[in-house]
């Protein structure tokens, strides 16, 4: 059963290991569908998600909300080691520069080495 007004997020990619295209749904990471063409892989994973959603609804289980329907605050919090955090103020090039513009340029190469 395909979902009417399906708002889930899908991806189709080639699987070298399987020698076929694999259809994936971000909201249902445990599901996948292998097929010979990308179109068939997408159709298969969409049908599978529809079947799973119906089954979950029939059993009173909580159905994942589509990512497209979620509301986000706009805040993005990242943990960094204290040594890296300590250097952020002196690395900020402009007083009004976006906060994310300076750590990604300079510290991205150093974070993995601490």
pLDDT in the model for residue 36:
98
pTM over 0.85: no
Contact between residue 1 and residue 51 where contact means Cβ atoms under 8 Å apart: yes
pLDDT along the chain (114 residues), means of 10: 82 98 97 98 97 96 92 86 78 58 50 48
Compute the distance between CA of residue 10 and CA of residue 103 in angstroms, rounded to an integer.
31
| The pair of three-digit structure tokens given for residue 102, joined into one six-digit string | 């300076």
Ordered by start, the domain boundaries in the chain are: 10-69, 72-107
Where is 111: in which H helix or E strand? helix 108-111
């Amino acid at each position: 059963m395909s979902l009417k007004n399906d708002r889930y997020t899908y991806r189709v990619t080639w699987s070298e290991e399987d020698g076929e295209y694999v259809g994936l749904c971000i909201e249902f990471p445990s599901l996948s569908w292998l097929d010979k063409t990308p179109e068939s892989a997408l159709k298969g994973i969409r049908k599978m998600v529809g079947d799973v959603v119906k089954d979950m609804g029939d059993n009173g289980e909580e159905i994942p909300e589509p990512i497209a329907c979620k509301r986000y605050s706009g805040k993005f919090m990242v943990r960094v080691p204290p040594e890296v955090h300590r250097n952020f103020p002196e690395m900020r090039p402009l007083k009004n520069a976006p906060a994310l513009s300076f750590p990604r340029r300079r510290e991205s190469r150093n974070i993995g080495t601490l």
